Amino acid sequence: MITKGYHNNPEATKSSFTADGYLRTGDILRVEGDLLYIVDRKKELIKYKGMQVAPAELEGVLIAHPSVFDAGVIATQRGDEEVPMAYVVLVPGAEGKVSETELVDYVGSKVANHKRLRGGVAFTDVIPRNPTGKILRRELRALHNRRSKL
């Protein structure tokens, strides 16, 4: 056991730990035989070296760039670390005028060090969204997994 809960905060402890002391990580798992696979998260926050990174903050920074029409940020694995990675839709006419590296550097100049896009940037034609406009991160992760296998 790492901890028994939050110091002097029984409500936070109750909502974050099960009755038998297990931490609710917010990860959604899939079981195949004896193996567990993390397939999604209940919360959108990315944890990098114990620090929280909000994808929406990074998306806002990216969309403020004049060459970016839309953006979606997901967590990806780099070694045994979870790092932020962005998929970006460029404005018409910006193709070939801005690089992935330029956008990584742009975001890095606007955010704290732990929020940098260490997973990089990849260009795409569309950011998947539901009818209310919420980014479908599961679909972005599926796109990322397909591209990673190429």
pLDDT digits (tens, 9 = 90+) for 126-141: 999 988 888 999 899 9
Q: Which two tokens stand for residue 50?
A: 């114990």
CA 25 – CA 135 distance, rounded (Å): 22
Q: Which two tokens stand for residue 138?
A: 């599961």
Does residue 105 register a pLDDT over 70?
yes
Angle between helices 55-63 and 100-108 in degrees, nearest 10: 110
* pLDDT at site 57: 94
Does residue 116 register a pLDDT over 80?
yes
Does residue 2 contact residue 18 with C-beta atoms inside 8 Å?
A: no
Is the same domain home to 36 and 75? no
From the centroid of its chain, how far is CA 35? 23
Classify 62 as helix, strand or coil: helix
CATH assignment at residue 22: 2.30.38.10
Q: Which two tokens stand for residue 80?
A: 């045994």
Give strand pairing partners of 93: none
Q: What is the percentage of the chain residues whose pLDDT exceeds 90?
A: 56
Provide the residue type at 102 as one letter: E
* pLDDT at site 40: 58
Does residue 90 register a pLDDT over 90?
yes
Q: Which two tokens stand for residue 8?
A: 């002097």
Classify 3 as helix, strand or coil: coil
Q: Rounded to 5 degrees, what are φ and ψ at 67?
A: -95, -5
Q: Range of 29's domain?
A: 1-43
Is the same domain home to 86 and 107? yes
Is the same domain home to 20 and 38? yes
Residue range 58-87: average pLDDT? 95
Does residue 85 contact residue 122 with C-beta atoms inside 8 Å?
A: yes
CATH assignment at residue 50: 3.30.300.30
pTM over 0.85: no
Q: What is the percentage of the chain residues whose pLDDT exceeds 70?
A: 93
* pLDDT at site 100: 97
pLDDT in tens, 6-46: 889 888 888 788 888 888 777 666 788 888 876 656 668 89
